[in-house]
Amino acid sequence: MKHFISVKDIPNLQYALDVAFDVKTNRFAYQHLGKNKTMILIFFNSSLRTRLSTQKAAMNLGMNTMVLNVNEDGWQLESELGVVMDGEKPEHLLEAIPVIGQYCDVIGVRSFARFQSKDDDYSEKIISQFIQYAGVPVVSMEGATRHPLQSYADLVTIEEFKTKQRPKVVLTWAPHPKALPQAVANSFVEWMRETAYDLVVTHPEGYELAPEFMGDVKVEYNQKKAFEGADFIYAKNWASYTSYGQILSKDFGWTVNEEKMALTNDAKFMHCLPVRRNVVVTDGVIDSKNSIVIQQAANREVTAQAVLKMILEEV
């Protein structure tokens, strides 16, 4: 594997699962792969899980790691092409990226949607420039439209907890005070479409995800109906795609609560975290025995390590 940006970069889903379960049980068996190799993790946005799990995964493989928080530790970086750089940003990505590439063997990049331009966000303007100019493999640590490391961990978690071959998996929109990107939802749908699961997406009208991610996935606008018989409930907020970046609803009627979970088939509750308690999900649900959010987060280390292993085997 050269780069890891979406599910399309892995050879196939079963192979990805086999690698993940192998590294989960043999965490330190592949340290020779990372010996004398360095990963640089570049953050344009905040992180807890992605930063720590990816760094830990790289260390498990014997790699050295360096972290750069752009805007805090380094120069502010210009990403627009052809601009007169007489503003606040003293360095362009066109120099910064190939320079970073000189110091490492793998680059991880986190760069969220900026909600200034749907075209810029959906062309993955920042990560695309890293792929073009870095000269080394690039791992998305959440781009503008996808969060593949998260989705891979979500898949592994569902595989661990499913009790039937074809579980009903429901992705539900939930309220949030801030406008959040569609990346986690897009990516989750993209990965789930590669499985045999029965996937249903539920959200208020106006929150339809981009057609290229949804394909023919079923949308159920009635959240309670969507929850009926579900084996997994995955909650996530996202801002509107059609009214790009806007918050159309903050309706707490969409919060995941005990009453709605009672409609399910004793479903497991999932969320990528961080989560706003009693906005996205009630304390009663996230603190219940059916909540698997910590196990889900633990699998971030596993799948980051699986991705790095697949990349290092080809470097």
Residue type, position 311, single letter: I
Least separation in angstroms between residue 225's CB and ligand CP is 28
Question: Closest by alpha carbon to 167, among 180, 158, 176?
Answer: 158
Q: Kindly list the residues in this chain that would bind ligand CP in the complex (CB under 6 A).
A: 47-50, 142, 150, 272-274
Neighbours of 178 (CB within 10 A): 8
Name which of 1 and 273 has its Cβ closer to ligand CP. Answer: 273
Q: What are phi and psi of 309, to 5 degrees?
A: -60, -45
Least separation in angstroms between residue 272's CB and ligand CP is 4
Question: Angle at the Cα of 161 (from 271 to 220), degrees rounded to 5?
Answer: 55
Residue type, position 303, single letter: T
Name which of 69 and 265 has its Cβ closer to ligand CP. Answer: 69
Name which of 93 and 184 has its Cβ closer to ligand CP. Answer: 184
Least separation in angstroms between residue 82's CB and ligand CP is 32
Residue with tokens 């029965």: 198
Neighbours of 2 (CB within 10 A): 13
Q: Is the dihedral of CA 193, 199, 204, 205 positive or negative?
A: positive
Name which of 33 and 59 has its Cβ closer to ligand CP. Answer: 59
Least separation in angstroms between residue 150's CB and ligand CP is 5
For residue 173, what are the β-bridge partners? 236
Name which of 112 and 213 has its Cβ closer to ligand CP. Answer: 112
Residue nearest to ligand CP (CB): 50
Least separation in angstroms between residue 279's CB and ligand CP is 17
